[in-house]
Amino acid sequence: MAVVKPFKGIRPNKDLAHKVASLPYDVMNREEAKEMAKGNEYSFLHVVRSEIDVEDSISQYDEIVYKTARKNLDNMIRDKVLVQDDTPKFYIYRQIMDGRVQTGIVGCTSIDDYINDIIKKHEFTRPEKEVDRINNFDYCDANTAPIFLTYRKNDELNRIINDWIKFHKPIYNFTSEDSITHIAWIIDEDNINTKISEIFDKIDYLYIADGHHRSASSVKVGLKRREANPDYTGQEEFNYFLSVIFPDEDLFIMDYNRVVKDLNGLTYEEFMNKVREKFDIEEYNGEGQYKPVEKHTFGMYINDKWYKLTAKQGIYDANDPVDRLDVSILQKNLLHPILGIENPRTDKRIDFVGGIRGLEELERRVAKDMKVAFSMYPTTMEDLLSIADAGEVMPPKSTWFEPKLRSGLFVHRLSD
């Protein structure tokens, strides 16, 4: 059963929320982060990407970067840019993108639930990426960014959320520069907060939708503090990490597309012949780019043309939740055997393009520095849940969730 508890949120002054809230740290590089925060002293990028406030010659992983993050966070609290609630509370966070709504509970989840697989994962993590967030969280003494979790919908919890929204005014309501609306409510009735915890206690599992590295880092910071405090009770704040938890029916997964730098020494004709062994190829004569509309079909852009690829029968196991994924089919039958991409996590010849950028970005990349691109049909929520339930993991870059959670709207202090 899932442990989800209220917390004393550190959050923006109402008048500054729209300036504080920033995109997550991992959807941009250093230069992009600096440009996004330019002219905005309130941007939470000064905390989650604090390398923008040190000399460019300094590594983004240098200790001074994490000390700067802590200084910036402390200054925002000192200057009342961020304020902390006096008592533990849950919050409701709603995002609206292109008319589609997702509404979740903001609270803290247990590092023990993560360790014991009550919070289920579907991706591997890379230790070097964990270290960065471990340092950010540890130096800041806070979870500076939430984990994006989901659960199979619960009607009772939906009713509580909808009733609260119906009868209470939001604490924040703004539209960010990417045209996504962000609305938040504070639940300040103890009996409602208790009821929410009790409902989650009856939910068997939570699932990581986005934020595997953040969650792993949060857990390792908690374990580090347990080691430093051997008399811990389990109730200390470092035993929990900040999460926003949405019902599965609300979430939207976009395509996560691939571009490859070369044809692995093959001529165009040799490449196409090898692809035909596992896929039916059809030249696309429609307008614009080819966007797959069903599973097991793929778009391929090469030599200024789009093609539709359809996986042939027998090249995947329809009963295996991982093997039947489109990302697995492409990897096992084309990217690895034909293009030589053995490990897409580490191979510098492949790059990944989130669906939010559009398929025009694939054409642009091929024109600029790549040779071939593949448009994908999105992984489904049921795919994600079934793989996590089976204790399996997806191939890298299988899911791209939109909208992204904004950082800075809620911060969880670890020592409070």
User: What is the arithmetic mean of pLDDT over 110-128?
Assistant: 92
The reply to whether 131 and 277 lie within a common domain is no
Same domain, 260 and 248: no
d(CA 11, CA 15): 11
The residue written with tokens 């389990």 in the block is 234
CB atoms within 10 A of CB 56: 10
Nearest Cα to 301, choosing from 375, 250, 357?
375
Q: pLDDT class for 247, splitting at 50, 70, 90?
A: very high
Question: What is the rounded distance in angstroms from the CA atom of residue 410 to the CA atom of residue 351?
Answer: 32
| 120: number of Cβ within 10 Å | 21
- Has residue 141 been placed in a domain? yes
Contact of 23 with 406, CB cutoff 8 Å = yes
Please give the sequence-ordered ranges of beta strands (E in DSSP) within 272-416, or none if there are none: 279-283, 297-302, 305-311, 350-354, 372-375, 400-401, 412-413
Question: Is there a contact between 373 and 362 (Cβ–Cβ < 8 Å)?
Answer: yes
Judged against a pLDDT cut of 90, whether residue 416 lies above it is answered with no
Q: What is the pLDDT of residue 257?
A: 97
Alpha carbon distance 179, 92 (integer Å)? 20
Q: In this predicted structure, what is the pLDDT of residue 125?
A: 82
pLDDT at 256: 95
Which of these, 89, 101, 109, lies nearest to 203 by C-alpha position? 109
Answer yes or no: do 131 and 107 share one domain.
Answer: yes
Count of domains forming the chain: 2
Answer yes or no: is pLDDT of 131 > 90: yes
Q: What's the distance, CA 312 to chain centroid?
A: 32
Kindly state whether residues 408 and 364 are assigned to the same domain: no
> For residue 226, what pLDDT is reported?
97
Q: Are residues 295 and 226 in the same domain?
A: no
What is the H or E stretch that residue 368 is in? Answer: helix 360-368
Burial 373-386 (b: 16+ CB within 10 A, else e): bbbbbbbebebbbe
Helix (H) or strand (E) holding 101: strand 100-110
Phi and psi of 232, rounded to 5°? Answer: -60, 150
241 and 280 share one domain: no
268: left (phi over 0), alpha (psi -120 to 50) or beta: alpha
Residues 51, 167 within the same domain: yes
Q: What is the DSSP letter of 123?
A: S
pLDDT digits (tens, 9 = 90+) for 256-308: 999 999 999 999 999 999 999 999 999 999 999 999 999 999 999 999 999 99
390 assigned to some structural domain:
no
In a domain, 389, yes or no: no
**pLDDT at position 124:** 83
Contact, 379 vs 369, CB < 8 A?
Answer: no
Strand pairing category for 119-120 and 206-210: parallel
Residue 310 lies in a domain: yes
Mean pLDDT score, 65-87: 98
pLDDT at 127: 83
pLDDT of residue 128: 83
| CA distances, 147 to each of 21, 301, 370 (Å) | 15, 35, 33
Residues 171 and 93 sit within 8 Å (Cβ to Cβ): no
* Token reading at 3: 């442990």
* Domain boundaries, position 296: 256-377
Q: For residue 273, give every residue at least 6 positions away whose Cβ sits within 8 Å of its Cβ, in sequence order, or none.
A: none
Is residue 285 a part of any domain in this protein?
Answer: yes
Is 12 exposed, middle or buried, given 0-12, 13-18 or 19+ CB atoms closer than 10 A? buried
Q: Are strands 206-210 and 240-247 parallel, antiparallel or unpaired?
A: unpaired
Q: Token pair for residue 341? A: 């991409």
Judge whether residue 191 has pLDDT over 90.
yes
384 domain residue, yes or no: no
When pLDDT is averaged across residues 243-253 and rounded to a whole number, the result is 96
Answer yes or no: do 124 and 211 share one domain.
yes
Q: Tell me: the pLDDT tens digits for 154-173?
A: 999 999 999 999 999 999 99
With beta carbons less than 8 A apart as the criterion, state whether 234 and 123 touch.
no
User: Residue 115 is inside which H or E element, if any?
Assistant: helix 111-115
- Average pLDDT rounded to a whole number, residues 37-54: 97
Rounded to the nearest 5 degrees, what angle is found at the Cα of 240, between the Cα atoms of 62 and 187? 115
Q: How far is residue 366 CA from its own chain's centroid?
A: 26
Confirm whether 15 is domain-assigned: yes
This prediction has a pTM of 0.91
Residue 102 has pLDDT above 80, yes or no: yes
Clarify whether residues 105 and 143 are in a common domain: yes
248 with 327, same domain: the answer is no
Instruction: Give the count of beta carbons closer than 10 Å to the beta carbon of residue 210.
Output: 24
pLDDT at 395 over 90: no
Asked if residue 341 and residue 241 are part of one domain, the reply reads: no
Tokens of 398: 């299988």
DSSP codes, 67-88: HHHHHHHHHHHHTTSEEE-SS-
pLDDT above 80 (res 91): yes
Any domain includes 77 = yes
Residues 234 and 309 in one domain: no
pLDDT digits (tens, 9 = 90+) for 305-360: 999 999 999 999 999 999 999 999 999 999 999 999 999 988 999 999 999 899 99
Q: For residue 276, give both structure tokens.
A: 């035909």
Single-letter amino acid code for the residue at 379: T
